Amino acid sequence: MQLYNTLSAEERAIMIDDAGKQRLTLSFYAYAKIQDPQKFRNDLFVAWNALDALGRIYVASEGINAQMSIPAENLEAFRTTLEVYDFMKGIRLNEAVEHDDHSFLKLTIKVRHKIVADGLNDDTFDVTNIGVHLKAKEFNEILDDPNTIVVDFRNHYESEVGHFKNAITPDVETFRESLPIINDQLKDHKDDKNLVMYCTGGIRCEKASAYFKHQGFKNVYQLEGGIINYAKQLKEEGLESKFIGKNFVFDNRLGERITDDIISQCHQCGKPCDNHTNCENDGCHLLFIQCDDCKAAMENCCSTECLDIIHMPLVDQVRLRTGKQVGNKVFRKGKSENLKFKHSGELPETALATAQKPADIRQKVKVKKVLLGKAEHYYVKAQVGQFTVENHELNIGDKILISGPTTGDQELVLNRIIVNGAETQSAKVGDKVTFEVPFRIRLSDKLYKILN
């Protein structure tokens, strides 16, 4: 019985592209008493793996928290796997504003002590005594009430790119930090104000609303289904958005646009930008905001130190991080002295720029293609792009697709290629290939071969 992934993310990406099927990105959560979380986890993995479902899921004795990608054609079968359990019958699935075939590339289900790390002792208060759920229209109306205080229960790197107008945005990097801060900040308004809270999908507010009612707050409200569900209702009902900017999400997209307003800046040059990236240095992976120009100049790195490191031999890179914490534990997430234009805490509500309309991400599935590799460099004056071939072969005469969030989808036919410094007819896995590209490419761009 298969209970773990057997394919790498790269292999899964190729399979998704080869299948050419539309996938849906969705999230859901449920608090419930689960007697055997490990068995629950294993049963879910078997059922979901059979449906080609991917995602990041946490289960605990208190419930489930899931962000997932599933083939659209398997949606009803997926619902059936949930409704086996009484506590998930009729559960709301928050569908993403923007679907991306590659939002998740593995099925990861982990058993944890809690489905959200809140630092609370659940035995000390009634976790079921939650605040009043508000739909988008009701949420907009209560925000207009002068007696309302609205609190963002997300982290600084989330609220920086988008938040509700007039919201308190705590300068924290974890949910558990925000609870005592807000409790102390609002202690004099337990009776006379509406405490209105929101988060990405609603799960953090379920626990936070119960906690604040326990602390003595009389009028506690929460946004039902979080920002994700709010955005969906805006479209369905034609409502005004009181959220400005982008909603940070915890998958490969790192965000989905709610309004066209860009309210944050590139952390390196200060240009209006709200695209997150993770530092290319494997010993860093700092999450920060980076514009396309800085991404190209810095090769996805947060600093010149990290830029130097990624050009070292791999054995030297490994030696540098041996015995050290890696990933997001190296730096505070999204904070570093190298980031000159990082903002957190009290945030602006004035748009710095207007985002360009992205190409319809659903259109990708209409082109039958296979992933070849990724962009490495663009030589502006020569109009030449360099790519690393990671899968399959590339040949003269192939029709290719260069795709990225800013570049969009651009098709070319290869008439001439340079492979590892020499002109030739084909390139194989591991080769560095360069060819003329009559438009600017970015390091986030992917290279595909279009199949006949």
CA 234, CA 241: separation in Å to the nearest integer? Answer: 7
Predicted pLDDT of residue 367: 59
Predicted pLDDT of residue 328: 41
Do 230 and 136 meet the contact criterion of CB atoms below 8 Å apart? yes
Predicted pLDDT of residue 251: 87
CA 225, CA 316: separation in Å to the nearest integer? Answer: 46
CA 310, CA 314: separation in Å to the nearest integer? Answer: 8
Whether 284 is catalytic: no
- DSSP type of residue 414: -
Do 220 and 212 meet the contact criterion of CB atoms below 8 Å apart? yes
- Is 252 a residue whose pLDDT tops 80? yes
Q: What is the DSSP string of 113-173?
A: S-SS-----GGGS-TT-PPEEE-HHHHHHHHTSTTEEEEE-S-HHHHTTEEETT-B----S
Residues in CB range of 76: below 8 A, 6 or more apart: none
Rounded mean pLDDT of 16-22?
Answer: 79
The encoded tokens of residue 123 equal 């035995």
Residue 187, Cβ density class (10 Å: 0-12 exposed, 13-18 middle, ≥19 buried): exposed
Phi then psi dihedrals of residue 316, to 5 deg: -75, -35
CA 198, CA 213: separation in Å to the nearest integer? Answer: 15
pLDDT band at 81 (very low <50, low <70, confident <90, very high): very high
Predicted pLDDT of residue 442: 84
Predicted pLDDT of residue 358: 55
Q: How much of the chain, in percent, has pLDDT values that exceed 90? A: 69
Which of 246, 252, 194 minimizes the C-alpha distance to 219? 194
The CA angle 446-450-451, to the nearest 5 degrees, is 140
Q: What is the mean pLDDT of the chain?
A: 90
- Active-site choice (199, 205, 273, 294): 199
Rounded mean pLDDT of 131-136?
Answer: 97
Predicted pLDDT of residue 331: 46
The 10s digit of each residue's pLDDT in 376-408 is 888 888 889 999 999 889 999 999 999 887 787
Which of 101, 113, 404, 173 minimizes the C-alpha distance to 277? 404
Q: How much of the chain, in percent, has pLDDT values that exceed 70? A: 95
Determine which of 106-120, 238-252, 314-328 has the lowest per-residue pLDDT on average.
Answer: 314-328
Q: Which residue has the tokens 């959560």?
A: 29
Q: What is the DSSP string of 54-105?
A: EEEEEEETTEEEEEEEEEGGGHHHHHHHHTTSGGGTT---EE-SS--TTS--
Predicted pLDDT of residue 363: 41
Residues in CB range of 449: below 8 A, 6 or more apart: 369, 370, 372, 392, 394, 398, 399, 400, 401
Rounded mean pLDDT of 44-72?
Answer: 96
Do 49 and 98 meet the contact criterion of CB atoms below 8 Å apart? no
The encoded tokens of residue 285 equal 């992976």
The CA angle 74-76-81, to the nearest 5 degrees, is 90
